[in-house]
Amino acid sequence: MNEALLRALIPAVTGVLVRRGADFATAEDAVQEALIQALARWPDDPPTDPKGWLITVAWRKFLDESRSENSRQAREVRVDAEPPPGPAAETDDTLRLYFLCAHPSLSPTSAVALTLRAVGGLTTRQIAEAYLVPESTLAQRISRAKRTVAGVRFGESGDLATVLRVLYLVFNEGYGGEIDLAEEAIRLTRQITSITDNEEASGLLALMLLHHARRAARTTAGGALVPLAEQDRSQWDVPLIAEGVAILQAALARDRLGEYQAQAAIAALHADAPTAGETDWVQIVEWYDELLRLTDSPVVRLNRAVAVGEADGPAAGLAALEPVDPTVPRYAAVRAYLHEKAGDVALAAGLYADAARAATNVAERDHLLRQAARLNDALRP
Amino acid sequence: MAKYLILKHYRGGPAPVVDYPPMDQWAPEMVDAHVRFMVDFAARLETTGEFVEHQALLPEGTFVRHGGEGKPPVTDGPFAETKDLIAGWLMIDVDSYERAVEIAGEYSAAPGPDGEPICEWLELRPLYSAAPTVQE
């Protein structure tokens, strides 16, 4: 059994413990310890029933912990009164655990950390490494998050939108270290789609798959960013695109459009184009219009201006940029791009240099600096 | 072992010895070469076991101070004309001051617009260390 399959069992196992009367914080610690033991022992001595093994070991760890807390009697009484968990309850438990870890009372940062540990089964060290913070800081973040949700009843129905938002953040942000956060986000989103039957969950999964499919083409060997138009499309992962498109189509067919489905639709249109020149920008603009209706976000407005620039020419793009708030990240970069397309190379070069100064990550800064350098180079007599 | 911070400045420090334009005025392949040097440099220090961390800072920041009981914090800036502006740092953990100076010197040799070292001034600052256990 590989580690991902093992970790897929985590929420159900934690759910069983909580259902048997364990409090969430202690149950989560117990499952984490059982997981570490499993990773050490299973390679030489694999169990016939992995989940049963995890439940037994985690439960024992939980009892040890409870005894040391001197509350054994009260807990054991409660355990006797609990009905045995059935398969339907396990599915519900998994979803409840997601709701708890992405509870609206948690900040996004805390929700991300708690989800990766309690649902994803990652260790505190792995999560700390992925977000470049000291392990002790991350451990504190998780225990504070657990305290915040301590009063939340486990059965309480939650908000799927906050769960999806957390998974989106895991996919989109963070450094990684030994853990591939994008893969982890995809794994968890798959699990959510399999237990919720929700269009937006499917939309998010499709969005992730379609972007993940471009991964190999997105950077050079030296780590420099390659813009979409210049990516070597033969490096795109075709099966992943096919899967993303199929999931998206099934979601769209249910006619309950949401923001992730619309974003995935845009990614699918890019995936559809054999070359950048063959991109169906008119349809992409229409999807941005849908997105604007759904979100009215300044970032969407900004990206829409790029699409309009491609569909109707740079002058139209610049007009679409007019109402956008200039403090939106990447505003200067988009303006530079549209002015370059409009033929105003000197203005574009200056704007790219401005954009580089405003960039919030080094890869993007270097990319924009390179764009400015390229145009200044072309301007030299 | 002793830790040192090698500070890169956007502005400030002694007068530059090599005069070169801002990076957006360089040929694109020279920009690439400069970026590659920086990445390779950190990677090389990792292999020697001397790398601690490397961070870059955005050019604009804000000054903040306590605004008084029950009042919001007071902010000032950003200042476009600040004389001294830190661009980022490389932290190393080395055996001696001499080694730290050696590394900083090599780090300052990043290639410029003509491929020659830019010889930028880097500020080398020792970190306070942990108090020793053996005291006499």
**Pick from A222, A360, A373: which is nearest to B27 by CB?**
A373
Whole-number pLDDT of residue A88: 58
Q: Average pLDDT of each block of 10 consecutive residues along chain A (381 residues)?
A: 81 89 90 90 89 93 82 52 54 86 92 95 92 91 92 79 95 84 95 93 98 94 90 97 98 97 98 96 98 94 97 97 93 97 96 92 91 93 81
Encoded amino acid at B86, one letter? I
pTM of the shown model: 0.86
Give the residue carrying structure tokens 């020697």.
Answer: B48
For residue A58 the two structure tokens come to 């985690």
Listed as own residue / partner, the contacts of A116-119 with beta carbons closer than 8 Å and 24 or more positions apart are: A116/A170, A116/A184, A117/A28, A117/A32, A117/A142, A118/A10, A118/A11, A118/A14, A118/A24, A118/A28, A118/A31, A119/A10, A119/A11, A119/A188
Separation CA A189–CA A183 (nearest Å): 10
Whole-number pLDDT of residue A335: 97
* Secondary structure E strands in chain A: none
Q: What is the per-residue pLDDT across B62-111, written as a single tens digit (0 to 9) for each?
A: 999 999 999 999 999 887 777 788 999 999 999 999 999 999 999 999 99
Q: Is A357 on the interface with B (CB under 8 A)?
A: yes
* Portion 102-161 of A in contact with B at CB < 8 A: none
Q: Is B31 on the interface with A (CB under 8 A)?
A: yes
**pLDDT for residue B30 is more than 90:** yes
Q: How many CB atoms lie within 10 A of CB B46?
A: 12
Q: How many CB atoms lie within 10 A of CB A16?
A: 23
**CB atoms B25 and A376 under 8 Å:** yes
Give the residue carrying structure tokens 């895991």.
Answer: A170
Looking at CA atoms only, how far is residue A133 from chain B in angstroms? 12
CB A376 within 8 A of CB A349: yes
Residue B91, helix vs strand vs coil: strand
Give the residue carrying structure tokens 């067919």.
Answer: A253
Q: How many CB atoms lie within 10 A of CB B98?
A: 9
Q: Is B109 on the interface with A (CB under 8 A)?
A: no
Name every chain A residue with its beta carbon within 8 A of the beta carbon of B32: 222, 224, 370
For residue A341 the two structure tokens come to 């397309």
Separation CA A320–CA A310 (nearest Å): 12
Whole-number pLDDT of residue A71: 57
Whole-number pLDDT of residue A70: 60
Q: Which residue is closest to A225 within chain B, CA to CA?
A: B32
Residue A242, helix vs strand vs coil: helix
ipTM of the complex: 0.79
Q: Which residue is closest to A374 within chain B, CA to CA?
A: B28
Q: What is the per-residue pLDDT across A119-178, written as a single tens digit (0 to 9) for each?
A: 999 999 999 999 888 999 999 999 999 999 988 887 777 789 999 999 999 998 877 778
Q: How many CB atoms lie within 10 A of CB A54?
A: 24
